[in-house]
Every structure is written in structure tokens, then in C-alpha cells.
Amino acid sequence: MADSEISRRRFAVIAGTAGAAAVGLRAAEPLTAESVAGRIHTELGGEWPANGPDGFKCGDPATPVKGIATTAMATVDVLRRAHQAGANLVLTYEPTFFGRPDGPLQAPQTGRGPVGISPGDPVYQAKRDFIEKNGIVVFRLRDHWQAKKQDDMVAGLAKSLGWSKYRVKSDDALYDIPPASARKLVAAVREKLNLRGGLRAVGNPDARIRRVLLHPGVMTAQTMWQRYADADLVLAGEVREWENTFFAADLLSAGENHGLVTIGRIVSEDPGMGECAAWLKDVVKEVPSRWIRVSDPYWRAS
């Protein structure tokens, strides 16, 4: 009986030690870019179609992650700063390789010509070489972030402008800010977002602005037509000039004081990816997450 009892005890000890060792091995497994993407997928939910824009664009998904950088667009400058900061997984909202396919030239679609950049293009090659040489992995996170976190995109832009406390309703993008002339408001926006030449304004510069509609990213003509009357001024990232811009110009000609300010698509989306970095701190706790701004690429003649 004693031998039997000792055997049972030894078995329990051995089994427990083996189990602990197995747990230790699992805990020691590196956090890869693929596993980070899996967590993001789980947290955001929804369907992730294989032909959608989100997914890995360059680099090896099996790469162990040392740090994560979020950005509106993975420019060469952003990639360099991410590398210098020790972040080797870059989550970008917009394409890395300058077009919808986010990669080299693809076969023509019905009724369209070829899409994508030539794989022999020196800019494409140099950017891809930099990413691969430095062990960086680029993952595009747009559709699913926008679908689940569009409110964060708006809130991020409002925070950068110092307007968070002025939101009219939690489920809308209207802000009742301290009244100011359009001229002063545009100057304040330029300063707070550190804009150089990417800002454009249409409307009466002396109009009194109280209510502003924020629309990071691209504002369609339909949205502009439906919502311009809700605010004294629409602050958007990017619009189609012959639709939204000249609609706003005709409003001014008709005596209506509804202005339009565009600050650039990427600049308007960037603060929302700052919110993404903050969100990731709770989703991926093993490595640091940081936001890297793209900044305004334009300049003005003096």
C-alpha cells in the first residue's frame, strides 16, 4: 500500500512538473505579427474576406514582434521612425504602395486598365527593400477599424483640435465650439495640426462659426449635400473638388454662410490611429504600442 501511495504521489509530482513546463514553453513562445493580427481580428470581430484591403502587405507574418506602431500611412519616413523606435510591426490605415491593390501591377479589371504600381518601379523597390532589410512587417487595418471604430476616428481628430468636450451628441460628429470667425478658426486648426500647405478653405472668412461637423477621411458629395446645413462649417479630410468644393463655393455665391475646410485625407485620419495605438495597449500588452504621425506633406510658397 505504501509503495502504491508513493507511486501515486510521484506520478502527481511528475505530471504537475510536466504540465508546468508545458505552460512555460507556451508562455515563452514569441508574439508574432500573425498572432497580433489574430487578436485584432478577434477583438474587432466581423468577416475578414480574403479579397478585402486589410491584411499583411509586406514582411513575414511569422516575425516576432518587438513593438507596434500605428499610422495613417506607412511612408518611408514613418517606417524609418518606427524602426528607430524599435517597432517592427506597423499598422497602417491607408495603402503602403500607393494604390488600391497596395502592391505591384495586377491584371486589368473589366472596363478598366491595369491597376497598381509596376514591380520594377524604383520607388516601390526601394520601399519594399527597406521594409524587408529591417525586418519590418506591414499590416493594413482600415475597413475593420473604420467599421468598428469610426467614432474613434472622429474623437481622435477632435482631441487633436482640443474640442473633445464640445461634442453635441455622443453618436454624431457635430461640435459646438467657442464662437470665432472662420478666419481665426482656420488659423487655429492650422496651428494645432501643424499644417503647412495642405489646408484649403472655402466660404466667407468673416462668417461666425459655432457648430462644426468633423469628417476625417473622404467626404462624399452625398454626405456634404445631406449634412452641410447641420453646421456652420464642415471640416473634412478630402473631397472631390468638382462636387463638394464648388458646391460650397456656390453656397457662398448664394449668400449662405456654410464653409468647407479640407486638411488632407491622411492628416485627418492620423489622430484616429493614435486612438488605435491606445486601444492596442489593452489588446497586446506584451510589447509597446505607439502612434507615429505622418504629418502634412505639402508646403506653401511664401
**Overall average pLDDT of the 116-133 stretch:** 91
DSSP letter for each residue of 16-84: HHHHHHHHHHHHHS--BHHHHHHHHHHHH-S---TTSS-EEEES-TTSBPS-EEEESS--HHHHHHHHH
Q: State the pLDDT at residue 25.
A: 44
**Grid coordinates standing for 54?**
486589410
pLDDT band at residue 23, thresholds of 50, 70 and 90? very low
- CA gap 85, 119 in Å, rounded: 29
Q: State the pLDDT at residue 109.
A: 59
pLDDT in tens, 69-101: 999 999 999 999 999 999 999 999 999 998 877
Q: Closest Cα partner for 241 from 268, 269, 262?
A: 262
> Assign residue 217 a region: left if phi > 0, alpha if psi is -120 to 50, beta otherwise?
left
Question: Torsions phi, psi of 103, nearest 5?
Answer: 180, -165
Largest CA distance in the chain: 102
Question: Is the separation of the CB atoms in 201 and 182 below 8 Å?
Answer: yes
Q: State the pLDDT at residue 231.
A: 97
CATH of 148-267, one of 3.20.20.70, 3.40.1390.30, 2.40.128.50, 3.40.50.261: 3.40.1390.30
Q: State the pLDDT at residue 182.
A: 97
Distance of CA 154 to the CA centre of its chain: 11
- CA gap 151, 159 in Å, rounded: 12
The 3-state DSSP class for residue 220 equals: coil
**Residue 113 pLDDT greater than 70, yes or no:** no
- CA gap 279, 160 in Å, rounded: 17
Question: Residue 168 is which amino acid?
Answer: V
Q: State the pLDDT at residue 13.
A: 41
**Residue 7 pLDDT greater than 50, yes or no:** no
pLDDT in tens, 34-49: 999 999 999 999 888 8
Give the up-direction half-sphere exposure of residue 40: CA atoms within 13 A in the CB hemisphere: 26
**Residue 27 pLDDT greater than 70, yes or no:** no
Give the up-direction half-sphere exposure of residue 202: CA atoms within 13 A in the CB hemisphere: 22
DSSP letter for each residue of 103-158: SB-BPPPTTS--BSB-TT-HHHHHHHHHHHHTT-EEEE--HHHHHHHHHHHHHHHH
Q: State the pLDDT at residue 112.
A: 60
**Residue % of the chain over a pLDDT of 70:** 87
Question: Is the separation of the CB atoms in 272 and 216 below 8 Å?
Answer: yes
- CA gap 283, 248 in Å, rounded: 42
**Overall average pLDDT of the 219-238 stretch:** 96
pLDDT in tens, 136-181: 999 999 999 999 998 999 999 999 999 999 999 988 999 999 999 9
Residues 6+ apart with CB under 8 A from 222: none
Q: State the pLDDT at residue 29.
A: 80
pLDDT in tens, 131-146: 999 999 999 999 999 9
- CA gap 183, 180 in Å, rounded: 8
Full-model pTM: 0.86
**Grid coordinates standing for 206?**
468673416
**Residue 17 pLDDT greater than 50, yes or no:** no
**Residue 61 pLDDT greater than 60, yes or no:** yes
**Residue 15 pLDDT greater than 70, yes or no:** no
**Residue 8 pLDDT greater than 80, yes or no:** no
The helix (H) or strand (E) run that includes residue 222 is: helix 221-227
Name the CATH superfamily housing domain 33-145+269-291. Answer: NIF3 (NGG1p interacting factor 3)-like (3.40.1390.30)
**Overall average pLDDT of the 294-299 stretch:** 93
52 or 292, higher pLDDT: 292
pLDDT band at residue 110, thresholds of 50, 70 and 90? low
**Grid coordinates standing for 149?**
471604430
Residue spans in the chain of domains classed CATH 3.40.1390.30: 33-145+269-291, 148-267
115 or 277, higher pLDDT: 277
**Residue 298 pLDDT greater than 60, yes or no:** yes
